[in-house]
A and B are shown apart, each in its own frame.
Chain A
Amino acid sequence: MTAVHQFVPALLPRDATGDHTRALRDALRAAGWESDIYVEAAHDELQDEATYFEEYPSRARPGDVLLYQLGTSSPVAEFLLGRHEPLVLDYHNVTPESYYEGWEEHTAAKVALAREQVAALAPHAVLGIADSAFNARELEELGCRATAVVPILVDDDVVHGAVDAAERDRLAADHGDATVLLFVGRISPNKSHERLVEALWVYRRLYDPSARLHLVGPTVTPSYAEAVFAFADELGLGDAVRHAEGLTKAELAAWYEDGDVFVCLSEHEGFCIPLLEAMGAGTPIVALDAGAVGETLADAGILLAEARPATVAAAVDRIRRDDDLAAWLADAGRRRLEDFAAATTRQRFVDVLGGVVGREPVVV
């Protein structure tokens, strides 16, 4: 039986790559292929679903295809370089180290190593699957011979799931009629949270003095997060900027529904799942056209060429003043979301991987 086994540095629950890996395994099995997940580490909840990657050689069989979920540095990369099976990369992008330099040197070193590993693996791959054309271009520039763009698998319940009504009511009662700018994503320098704070400051100055900024996401770069919140305090926005992390899916859905405008000013994104989540919640989107954001969003939001706070504030105000525009953007988002339907993406993965099963590995 044909086997496509996945390798991933860490298998985590409630994590985009972890959810994607497990969903893809299920899709491959449903297509009649064998598919197991090999890891460097797995969360306690998922121990039963993962096997330590160094155990693979004893289980290897002729005809196996190895699929590597690539988004960070790991010894798994070195291991795969030494294997002779056809290798497929599923590339989720690695943030350039320059974003972390000065903030967190060890993270900068870690992502620099990850990018070295991408460069080493790309020429060996029979196929590079990328979430976006932006990611595919990176793989091609690194010598990957064939690429295919297939979006990350996002479970339908992530974008159409239940909403925690009590949480939504609590948020609404908390801020009343104030405009809420929302961003969801880890607090990391490439996400440009300081630009969101600047935009809020200008928006409050020009349009709505009671406006708020809601930030949802884990603090992965503490020194950056401290600077962002200290900056907000200095501007007198301490009470206007709210941060939440560790939310359940239903709570997160409530924060999305509560937001008046989803504002994404990230300078580097390989795909940006929160855009899909905002589309699912019907929250109008204003985003900086950087990285893969433009292609993920397409014409389902207002794309800005620059993250100037005055421009961002004017865009938010434009949506707030025009109910027709807000409704049109919400509708456009829901339609765009149909392009990323899980069933369609699952089939795309099966089709694309079907093209490489049985191929000889690339000898560099």
Chain B
Amino acid sequence: MPTPPAAPSSPPSPSSSAAPSDPDSDERPDTSSAAAGAEVADRIRYLDEVMAEIDAEVRRRRASGDLPAGLERELDELFLEFSPVGLQGRARLRETLSLVDGSAYVDIAVPTASNKAVGSYIKRAVRKGLGWYMNFIVAQIVKFAWSVSRMFHVVVDHIEDLETAVEAHRSPDLPVAVVPASSDGAAWWAPAATEALAGVRDRVVVADCGDASLVELLLAAGVDAYGIDPSDLALEPALDRGVDVRAEGLLDHLDVVADEALGGIVLTGSVQWLRPNERERLLDLVSTRLAVDGALVLHSASPGAWAASAPAVVRDLAPGHPLHPETWAHLLGGRGFAVTATVAGGDDRRLTHVGEATPDAGTVNAAIDAINDLLLGPTEYLVVATRER
């Protein structure tokens, strides 16, 4: 347990929050002497040590099985059962519509009870005296409210018809169980990812981490990394080894992470087959959860290789498909990222040239080049980007 630093003899220097952004404004007294600075640094160091102990305790509890990997997600899902926010699609529409119906009736029978004896008498007199007038007004309000309610019913019915039509074209979700668990620590891109994340100060999350071998590689390199994966089963080996991993999907996890809390994000696995709207949401989340100057490492199969070699069930049921690295660079550039490296790798399936002695070697080799360019080449790529703003 770290020992707290001694209580300071003077108040701490105020945080930046107390400083005016108007350059014309008066400055606060200067308390940032060397001694005060060292004192503040001591306090921050102490709190960092305490926080590190808290993180270690959480990891220990997870590893010991006190905290099953999916427990926190289950708690979140349980709360949603009690909330109208948790109602999706039709259920939410109907729930809201019932609220409209419930409030469309205006009761003219004003309560006349009162704590004071004379109060009740006066209220009854007012109600009786104004009843004819209020009746007239309320009848029109109720008529209007029911017309609006009726209109909403028509709109909801129409929306449900449309949803039924759209549903017929929707592909089912890709079952987590059919996606092979990853073991990225041994992958060709692991050294490049480790190098890109070395020196990152804040925490680094590895998405779809599988057996968490990449997480361990990063930890060994001094990076404060942890993993997430939607498959409890895939995480079991990592949990057995006491690695900090959680059974969560990428979007759900980033949703609850504080802004700029992460120093690095590693995206692989499902990032390749997100739906377009999910990809947009992911980019929004990544560009806010990652600290400025934080590193993003994105690994993906190239589109051609994926179509040829991804597991058949994944290819058939995946809602989206991998993008080209240039497309990721374009999308990330629009979110304030600068791409610092794009590396091709994986199996190189290119055909080699025939020897010069071969008849029509020039023509054949030109054809081979065309085939290589169009169909073959490295099967995967890695994009490394830095958040600039």
Which residue numbers of A lie inside 8 Å of B, CB to CB? 101-103, 105, 127, 132-133, 136, 140, 146-151, 189, 194, 197-198, 201-202, 205-206, 223-224, 226-228, 230-231, 234-235, 288-290, 292, 295-296, 298-299, 302-311, 314-315, 317-318, 322, 324-325, 327-328, 331-332, 335-336, 338-339, 351-352, 355
Closest to A290 in B: B258
Q: Chain A residues with Cβ under 8 A from B259's Cβ?
A: 290
Contact call A318/B12, Cβ cutoff below 8 A: no
| CB < 8 Å neighbour of B20 from A132, A148, A307 | A148
B203 within 8 A of partner (CB):
yes
Give Cα A198 to B261, complex, Å: 21
Contact call B3/A314, Cβ cutoff below 8 A: no
Contact call A310/B58, Cβ cutoff below 8 A: yes
The interface size of chain B toward A, counting residues with CB under 8 Å, comes to: 55
B118 within 8 A of partner (CB):
no
Q: Chain A residues with Cβ under 8 A from B307's Cβ?
A: none
| CB < 8 Å neighbour of A148 from B25, B61, B84, B261 | B25
Stretch at the interface among B46-54, B183-191, B331-339: B46-54
Stretch at the interface among B71-79, B122-130, B266-274, B375-383: B71-79
Q: How far is the CB of A126 from chain B (nearest CB, A)?
A: 10
Contact call B20/A331, Cβ cutoff below 8 A: no
Which of B16, B50, B76 is most buried by chain A, counting CB atoms within 10 A of its CB?
A: B50
B373 within 8 A of partner (CB):
no
| CB < 8 Å neighbour of A336 from B12, B54, B66, B258 | B12
Please list the 8 inter-chain residue pairs (A to B) with the smallest Cβ-Cβ separation, ordered nearest first: A295-B17, A102-B85, A305-B261, A328-B4, A148-B20, A227-B82, A314-B57, A227-B83
Known: A148-B22, A314-B61, A336-B12. A307 touches B256 (CB 8 A): yes
Closest to A322 in B: B1
| CB < 8 Å neighbour of A318 from B21, B54, B84 | B54
B257 within 8 A of partner (CB):
yes
Q: How far is the CB of A197 from chain B (nearest CB, A)?
A: 8
Q: Chain A residues with Cβ under 8 A from B83's Cβ?
A: 102-103, 223-224, 227
Closest to A307 in B: B256
| CB < 8 Å neighbour of B11 from A149, A231, A234, A338 | A338
Contact call B25/A352, Cβ cutoff below 8 A: yes
- Total number of residue pairs linking A and B with CB closer than 8 Å: 156
Which residue numbers of B lie inside 8 Å of A, CB to CB? 1, 3-4, 7-8, 11-12, 14-22, 24-26, 40, 43-44, 46-47, 50-51, 53-55, 57-58, 61-62, 66-67, 71-72, 75-76, 78-79, 82-85, 87, 92, 96, 202-203, 256-259, 261
Q: Chain B residues with Cβ under 8 A from A136's Cβ?
A: 21
Q: Chain A residues with Cβ under 8 A from B72's Cβ?
A: 198, 308-310
10 additional A-B residue pairs with CB within 8 Å, beyond A189-B85, A305-B258: A103-B84, A146-B22, A147-B22, A202-B71, A289-B258, A298-B12, A305-B261, A306-B258, A332-B43, A339-B11
Contact call B4/A325, Cβ cutoff below 8 A: yes
Contact call B12/A299, Cβ cutoff below 8 A: yes
Q: How far is the CB of B352 from chain A (nearest CB, A)?
A: 51
Known: A148-B20, A355-B24. A311 touches B79 (CB 8 A): no
Q: How far is the CB of B7 from chain A (nearest CB, A)?
A: 5
Q: How far is the CB of A208 from chain B (nearest CB, A)?
A: 14
Closest to A300 in B: B12
Q: Chain A residues with Cβ under 8 A from B96's Cβ?
A: 105
Known: A149-B17, A339-B11. A302 touches B25 (CB 8 A): no
Known: A324-B4, A351-B26. A302 touches B47 (CB 8 A): yes
Q: Chain B residues with Cβ under 8 A from A101's Cβ?
A: 85
15 A/B residue pairs, CB under 8 Å, sorted by A: A133-B17, A198-B75, A201-B75, A228-B82, A231-B82, A235-B78, A299-B47, A304-B258, A305-B257, A308-B58, A311-B54, A311-B55, A339-B11, A352-B20, A355-B22
